[in-house]
Structure 1
Amino acid sequence: MKTRHSIQLMDTHAGGDVSRIVTGGIDPLPGKTVREQMEYLRDNADGLRELLLFEPYGIPEMSVDLIVPATNPEAAAGYIIMEVMGYPIYSGSNTLCTATAVLEAGIVEKREGVQHFKLEAPAGLVNIEATVKDGVVEPITCEGLPSYIDTYHASIHVPGIGDVTYSVAYSGGFYALVDAEQLGFKLVREEERALAESAYKIVEAIKAERGFSHYTLGDVGPLPFLHFMGPEEQVADGYIRSRSTTYVHPGVICRSTTGTGTSARLALMNHEGRLNIGDKLETVSLRETGFIGTFTGRHQQGNFQVVENTITGRSYVLANSEIVINCDDPMVNCGKLHHILTDR
């Protein structure tokens, strides 16, 4: 086995959440679908995720997106999402970043004005609308996953906090939705550590009490996420703005409000009968960045009213780089990824 390898990256961010897009250096993965390729990576080569998210190359607050050939002929490219908690089948911020990267890298031809194409996520096809101005990719609108409310206004006693009222939505992962004001939070930057600590306690208490099952996917694992909801401001007819914060892992608060968190909020507003087709929700983060969720439709799936939606945001390119992987480095474990490296 060679002791030195290289991987090509494009670092991007959407709303402050950094996504490292892997554009080269990885061999094609086995699998008839992007979902199967994701499962292979998860089960047989998790070293790539660990390499790029932890020391000495990265930090847990980042995400990684591996661009792979699409298996669906309608898609321009596929992508596999890797985060500190594992392999989500969909992510709004990662989709915004990947859509920007495939345009900036020339994988999809960049044309002035508005253009449309599809990407293939592990969750399936995602429609993308991109705006290019003066050769620069500006706003991206992507489909959010169909979202619904599983649990509405349940209560749980959380040690160290007290009784907490929460709802649970599915929007690509299960989210506990909590009113920030009931816990005394204003959702400002100075509260970031306290928000992470409170969210951890609430999520662990809910996980200890119960699990959740998707109506078609079944068991998708224990509750991973919590979304703090701030007060709503009516900006215009059909347009609401709200401060928001998403917790994804012990100690990790997302820099952005997250696309899936925004979709979860839309599902809650629909459940409460407060949405009309075309209505928008702008979520604003601790860092004053935002995503706009648009309610595009609803349909019934068994006992659940499912919300169709889109997420609009902007991703920025931070760097193009080639990292050197030195397998002699005691801080680098090549054992779980050497077999997928192109230059092995």
Structure 2
Amino acid sequence: MSKEALKIRLMDTHAGGDVSRIVLGGIDPLPGTTVRDRMHYLRDDADGLRKLLLEEPYGIPEMSVDLIVPAADPEAEVGYIIMEVMGYPIYSGSNTICTATAVLEAGLVPKQEGVQRFILESPAGQVHIEAKVVDGVVEAITCEGLPSYIDTYRSTIHVPTIGDVTYSVAYSGGFYALVEAADLGFSLVREEERALSDCAFKIVEALQAERGFSHYTLGDVGPLPFLHFMGPVDQIADDFYRSRSTTYVHPGVICRSTTGTGTSARLALMHHEGRLAPGDKLETVSLRETGFIGELTGTRQEGTHRVVENTITGKAYVLAHSDIVINLEDPLVEDGSLHHILSSRHRVE
């Protein structure tokens, strides 16, 4: 073993098939007044942590990482910073479901039988959590989705090798292109995963080359990164709908779940089309037959945008508790933007 070996304490979880690695220990306190400030520090000065845990030999790009940090908001129990292969999203539904489950299982928030409520602090701000605990097991997490709205409705773009593609764009924590899967020849089954990824990459690349998008308060949040394939919508009950869905997040990466932010984007689009009203729910079903339930909880007008308030409900499972040993002498460990945040208190003896 290396003379310079440190360890990071992890709890691996998944929600809907998307693996979130929760970092519970081994990282020194980060500078910054808010969780958003600490996220910026990680992004700008310590991006080695994200790369280490999402790249070989320690991880794969399909995973996500959530670093537990102290909350700055006095009403929040803990804070968390989300790291994904594409960078540092300010919010993620599946990561929030996993993080909320992890803080309960780790005892950072005392687990209570029945329904309990608490607040987490994400880089986007407060996130209200409702946890359902049955016989000591976290059976469901309901978390707030970010206020979502439609930026572009049914526009068309020409995509080389594909043709003209009709798309809408929603903001739900990131900008999403939304396309009808059937229009592109997809049934949304697992065997199509590679083809879906290749198709989404071409559409996203074309959109990024043609135009940018700006949030009405946040301004420029970067080029559109995500694409959500939508299947037909079935009405299950008066206020409950179901649709197959899948989300592309990065070249070669289709999320195993339908994603919370993807589900929020669908809620915004269906409300824009007059198909959902407050109190209605939509279950999105993934290529792996997992699902999240989004509920449209309210709407409000923000300038020219009709903003949809929503919640996302899902279940996370604990996969593993582990200590990852970081050998700083390993040539595969790029410690230039990592070693200064690793805690010497977690040195491997």
Sort the TM-score into its range (normalised by shorter chain).
over 0.9
- Between the aligned partners of 2:179 and 2:305, the Cα distance in structure 1 is 20
Q: How many equivalent pairs are there?
A: 344
Can you give the 5+ residue segments of structure 2 that lack an aligned partner in the other structure?
A: none
- Name 1:250's counterpart in structure 2: 251
Instruction: Answer with 7-16 or 265-274: which moved more.
Output: 265-274
1:1-344 correspondence to structure 2 within 5 Å? 3-343=4-344
The one-letter code matched in structure 2 to 1:35 is R
The one-letter code matched in structure 1 to 2:73 is N
**SS where residue 163 of structure 1 aligns?**
strand
- Between the aligned partners of 2:335 and 2:151, the Cα distance in structure 1 is 41
- Between the aligned partners of 2:97 and 2:179, the Cα distance in structure 1 is 26
Deviations for 1:211-254, whole angstroms, at most 9, x for unmatched residues? 00000000000000000000011111111100000000000000
The one-letter code matched in structure 2 to 1:143 is E
The one-letter code matched in structure 1 to 2:238 is D
- Between the aligned partners of 2:223 and 2:170, the Cα distance in structure 1 is 13
- Runs of 4+ in structure 1 over 6 Å off: none
- Between the aligned partners of 2:224 and 2:135, the Cα distance in structure 1 is 43
**SS where residue 319 of structure 1 aligns?**
strand
Deviations for 1:32-86, whole angstroms, at most 9, x for unmatched residues? 0000000000000000000000000000000000000000000000000000000
**SS where residue 127 of structure 2 aligns?**
strand
**TM-score when scaled to structure 2?**
0.98
Q: How far apart are residue 136 of structure 1 and its match?
A: 1.0
Q: Percent identity?
A: 79
Q: How far apart are residue 2 of structure 1 and its match?
A: 6.4
Can you give the 5+ residue segments of structure 1 that lack an aligned partner in the other structure?
A: none
The one-letter code matched in structure 2 to 1:247 is Y
Q: How far apart are residue 181 of structure 1 and its match?
A: 0.4
Q: How far apart are residue 258 of structure 1 and its match?
A: 0.1
**SS where residue 324 of structure 2 aligns?**
strand
The one-letter code matched in structure 1 to 2:232 is P
The one-letter code matched in structure 1 to 2:112 is R
- Between the aligned partners of 1:74 and 1:207, the Cα distance in structure 2 is 39
Deviations for 1:139-186, whole angstroms, at most 9, x for unmatched residues? 000000000000000000000100000000000000000000000100
- Between the aligned partners of 1:98 and 1:138, the Cα distance in structure 2 is 14
**SS where residue 268 of structure 1 aligns?**
helix
